[in-house]
């Protein structure tokens, strides 16, 4: 990423083209169509199709400072955006991240921290509110890089997609970047990088919460060797790697604008992480350029779905002349361990070389998926998993809840919430079994010709429709997606949620604050239309008009202008379509900040009209 020494006006002029290119990342689009399109693959270096079970680096372009976690059946990935938005991708397979929808899960318009978002990391920690994801990132002010500093968000529950609540800035009055966490003997520590004179150093401090520090701030690493001083004297991007009771600190060394950006390593060989003497530095780089890959660094670590393999994710360049811009692309590869217990990262894998996907992606995997809870409703009955198999039964059954999960290739999977198994189809029979990454477990979404919010689901393998068990009528192929339990409606543009929190009942967007006025219940009217309710009032179009731009607010439920249908696309987003006007909910001016108004307007392929549904546990809500 760009560092403080590039923050001058002259440097910004030089880098203007790169910055403009980086900030023009394509935003996700919603498709309100009769049939959702299949996602197009990202082009690789080779035009030859990649065999099933293989992938090749890079995963995708413009992917600096990657952070990747595998959690509850999906990979989650963030990369630097240089914008005011924080983008997350998710997919059940590593290569699926290349085609996964980039969703903005957080944005900011606060002038002191609004801009130049860098180096997002999200860690699952047992914080003051229980197990949560803590998302740390670097941001600063518009027009300069001199005020970059760290901020932390906290997830509402166990979903890395959020929604997130802003918690704080650890050191808002100084330049500090590349934050990460170290947990050691029950104490949480903050790791970060900042400049002192002509050196950029890695630092450590104790934390009282995942968003606040206390006590002394200690220098942990500094560029001492010549191989750490290529271009400039830089240490940054400190990451923790643990194994068999040992703690390794892997960090990036040398200037990111050179091809010699690389990884270095220290090991905690004493008991006190705050004591520099308790860390032992290894004399040589542990990962550096090779095989046509330049500047490999700013890494993270993850394990394969079955836990048997260790992987490194990092960014690298394809040319020696590329530097700290949008040329950096996401790469991942498996690494091993030496006989002495230290990690062996090897060399960067050449671009286009076929690699095996992480072990366990093909299961069998029973897992709880994160996401909005849904029922699959046909007529007045739900698809339910019972002891004898899949049945059409009462929607009151506890086993009627599913997670409708995009697979990042234009299809969906249905994960059963109670069993952790997945809906499939074989020779005309429905199956429920652990995830095996099969086409029989993938379903294509096809909307009803009547545009009534009902959908059909075609099995990718068999080409047959998902049909209500025990029913052969044509109508038994049509289903309503019924959101249940607490639901937040999050903007794909801003990451903020739709809310009706003031006395007027107006609907706008706001950052998540654990308030009941930020959640909605979907009450079925008929076919696939719903009332979106808050306190017995419904989301409705004011003045009952079809005019684009008309405001929406809470109001009377007894009108067709208070009825909405869900229009999902192929990648996990939803448009909300009014029954009477046929217009969609729209985030006015595509604004990022709190209080931006919501109205109705014509449907366009823009993220300002795309939303995602999030599950909100009732226990976290306050009045």
For 585, counting Cβ atoms within 10 Å of its Cβ (0-12 exposed, 13-18 middle, 19+ buried), the class is buried
CB atoms within 10 A of CB 564: 27
pLDDT band at 14 (very low <50, low <70, confident <90, very high): very low
Any domain includes 456: yes
- Rounded to the nearest 5°, which phi and psi values hold at 3? -115, 180
Any domain includes 368: no
Q: Which residue from 222, 216, 226 is spatially nearest to 272, judged by alpha carbons?
A: 216
**Distance of alpha carbon 358 from alpha carbon 95, whole angstroms:** 10
549 and 531 share one domain: yes
- Centroid of chain to Cα 225: 37
Any domain includes 363: no
Instruction: Write down the mean pLDDT value for the chain.
Output: 91
Cα angle 296, 297, 300; round to 5:
125
309 is known as an active-site residue: no
Q: What is the pLDDT of residue 4?
A: 32
408 and 460 share one domain: yes
Whether residue 163 is preceded by a cis peptide bond, meaning omega within 30 degrees of 0, is: yes
- pLDDT for 305-328, tens place per residue? 999 999 999 999 999 999 998 999
Average pLDDT over residues 501-514: 95
Q: Which pair of tokens denotes residue 384?
A: 């339910």
**Domain boundary, last residue among 452, 483, 514:** 483
**Domain boundary, last residue among 483, 517, 542:** 483
pLDDT above 90 for 42: no
Any domain includes 364: no
Q: Which pair of tokens denotes residue 114?
A: 């609004």
CB atoms within 10 A of CB 94: 23
Q: Which pair of tokens denotes residue 517?
A: 């006025």
Q: Which residue from 623, 618, 620, 616 is spatially nearest to 161, judged by alpha carbons?
A: 616
**Distance of alpha carbon 528 from alpha carbon 522, whole angstroms:** 11
pLDDT above 50 for 150: yes
Residue 588: how many CA atoms within 13 Å on its side-chain side? Answer: 15
Q: What is the pLDDT of residue 472?
A: 83
388 and 343 share one domain: no
pLDDT band at 16 (very low <50, low <70, confident <90, very high): very low
67 and 190 share one domain: yes
Q: What is the CATH number of the domain that holds 538?
A: 2.80.10.50
How many domains is the chain partitioned into structurally? Answer: 3
Task: Count Cβ neighbours within 10 Å for each residue of 443-477 and write b for 16 or more, e otherwise.
Answer: bbbbbbeebbbbbbbbbbeeebbbbbbeeeeeebb
Average pLDDT over residues 108-126: 95
Residue 116 in contact with residue 108, Cβ under 8 Å?
no
Q: Which pair of tokens denotes residue 604?
A: 């366009």
432 and 573 share one domain: no
462 and 527 share one domain: no
- Centroid of chain to Cα 120: 10
Place of tokens 């059909």: 456
Any domain includes 362: no
Cα angle 452, 456, 462; round to 5:
170
pLDDT above 70 for 428: yes
104 and 135 share one domain: yes
Q: What is the CATH number of the domain that holds 198?
A: 2.115.10.20
Q: Which residue from 192, 189, 210 is spatially nearest to 4, judged by alpha carbons?
A: 192
Q: Which region among 4-13, 548-557, 612-621 has the lowest average model confidence (pLDDT)?
A: 4-13
* Residues in CB range of 302: below 8 A, 6 or more apart: 68, 69, 70, 75, 311, 313
Q: Which residue from 117, 273, 101 is spatially nearest to 185, judged by alpha carbons?
A: 273
Any domain includes 366: no
**Distance of alpha carbon 42 from alpha carbon 99, whole angstroms:** 6
236 is known as an active-site residue: yes
Average pLDDT over residues 442-458: 92
DSSP 50: P
Any domain includes 614: yes
pLDDT above 60 for 350: yes
Residue 113 in contact with residue 139, Cβ under 8 Å?
yes
Any domain includes 316: yes
- pLDDT for 452-496, tens place per residue? 999 999 999 999 999 999 898 888 999 999 999 999 999 999 999
pLDDT band at 116 (very low <50, low <70, confident <90, very high): very high
Q: What is the pLDDT of residue 33?
A: 37
Q: Which pair of tokens denotes residue 366?
A: 């029973």
**Domain boundary, last residue among 462, 483, 504:** 483
Please report the sign of the dihedral spanned by the C-alpha atoms of residue 598, residue 510, residue 374, residue 97: positive
29 and 158 share one domain: yes
447 and 334 share one domain: no
User: Which domain, by its residues, includes 117?
Assistant: 4-356
313 and 383 share one domain: no
Cα angle 332, 60, 367; round to 5:
60
pLDDT above 60 for 129: yes
436 and 457 share one domain: yes
Residue 361 in contact with residue 334, Cβ under 8 Å?
no
**Which of 101, 121, 159, 236 is labelled catalytic?**
236
- pLDDT for 51-109, tens place per residue? 889 999 999 999 999 999 999 999 999 999 999 999 999 999 999 999 999 999 999 99
Q: Which pair of tokens denotes residue 9?
A: 């006006």
Whether residue 58 is preceded by a cis peptide bond, meaning omega within 30 degrees of 0, is: yes
76 and 211 share one domain: yes
**Which of 31, 65, 165, 405 is labelled catalytic?**
65
Q: What is the pLDDT of residue 406?
A: 97
Q: Which residue from 500, 502, 498, 520 is spatially nearest to 511, judged by alpha carbons?
A: 498
Average pLDDT over residues 360-373: 95
DSSP 520: B
CA-based end-to-end distance of the chain: 42
């Amino acid at each position: 990423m760009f560092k403080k020494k590039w923050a001058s006006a002259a440097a910004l002029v030089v880098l203007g083209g790169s910055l403009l290119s980086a900030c023009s990342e394509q935003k996700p689009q919603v498709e309100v169509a009769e049939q959702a399109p299949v996602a197009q693959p990202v082009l690789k270096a080779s035009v030859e199709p990649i065999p099933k079970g293989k992938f090749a680096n890079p995963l995708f372009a413009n992917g600096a400072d990657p952070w990747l976690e595998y959690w509850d059946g999906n990979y989650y990935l963030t990369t630097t955006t240089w914008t005011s938005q924080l983008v997350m991708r998710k997919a059940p397979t590593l290569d699926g991240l290349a085609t996964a929808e980039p969703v903005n899960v957080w944005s900011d318009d606060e002038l002191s921290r609004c801009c130049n978002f860098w180096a997002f990391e999200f860690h699952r920690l047992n914080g003051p509110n229980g197990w949560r994801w803590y998302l740390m990132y670097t941001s600063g002010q518009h027009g300069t890089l001199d005020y970059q500093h760290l901020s932390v968000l906290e997830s509402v529950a166990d979903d890395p997609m959020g929604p997130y609540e802003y918690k704080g800035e650890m050191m808002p009055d100084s330049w500090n970047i590349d934050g990460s966490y170290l947990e050691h003997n029950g104490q949480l520590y903050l790791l970060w990088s900042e400049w002192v004179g002509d050196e950029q150093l890695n630092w450590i401090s104790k934390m009282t919460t995942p968003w606040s520090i206390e006590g002394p701030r200690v220098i942990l690493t500094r560029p001492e060797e010549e191989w750490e001083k290529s271009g400039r004297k830089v240490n940054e991007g400190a990451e923790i790697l643990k194994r068999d009771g040992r703690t390794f600190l892997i960090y990036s060394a040398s200037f990111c604008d050179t091809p010699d950006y690389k990884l270095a390593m220290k090991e905690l060989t004493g008991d006190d992480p705050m004591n520099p003497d308790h860390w032992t530095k290894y004399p040589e780089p542990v990962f550096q350029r090779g095989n046509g890959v330049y500047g490999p660094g700013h890494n993270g670590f993850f394990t394969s779905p079955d836990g048997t393999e260790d992987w490194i994710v990092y960014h690298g360049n394809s040319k020696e002349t590329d530097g700290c811009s949008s040329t950096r692309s996401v790469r991942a590869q498996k690494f091993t361990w030496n006989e002495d217990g230290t990690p062996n990262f090897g060399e960067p894998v050449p671009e286009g070389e076929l690699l095996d996907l992480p072990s366990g992606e093909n299961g069998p995997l029973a897992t709880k998926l994160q996401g909005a809870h849904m029922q699959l409703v046909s007529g007045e009955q739900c698809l339910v998993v019972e002891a004898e198999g899949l049945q059409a039964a009462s929607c009151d059954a506890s086993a009627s809840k599913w997670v409708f999960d995009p697979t990042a290739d234009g299809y969906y999977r249905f994960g059963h919430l109670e069993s952790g198994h997945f809906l499939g189809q074989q020779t005309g029979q429905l199956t429920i079994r652990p995830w095996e990454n099969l086409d029989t477990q993938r379903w294509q979404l096809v909307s009803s010709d009547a545009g009534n919010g009902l959908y059909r689901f075609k099995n990718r393998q068999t080409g047959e429709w998902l049909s209500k068990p025990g029913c052969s009528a044509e109508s038994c192929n049509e289903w309503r997606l019924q959101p249940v339990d607490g639901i937040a409606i999050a903007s794909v543009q801003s990451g903020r949620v739709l809310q009706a929190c003031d006395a007027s009942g107006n609907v706008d967007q706001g950052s998540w604050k654990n308030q009941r006025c930020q959640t909605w219940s979907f009450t079925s009217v008929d076919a696939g239309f719903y009332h979106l309710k808050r306190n017995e009032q419904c989301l409705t179009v004011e003045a009952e008009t079809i005019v684009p731009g008309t405001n929406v607010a809470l109001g009377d439920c007894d009108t067709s202008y208070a009825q909405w249908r869900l229009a999902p696309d192929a990648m996990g987003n939803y448009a909300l379509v009014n029954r009477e006007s046929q217009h969609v909910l729209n985030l006015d001016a595509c604004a990022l900040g709190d209080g931006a108004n919501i109205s109705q307007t014509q449907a366009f392929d823009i993220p300002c009209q795309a939303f995602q549904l999030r599950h909100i546990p009732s226990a976290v809500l306050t009045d």
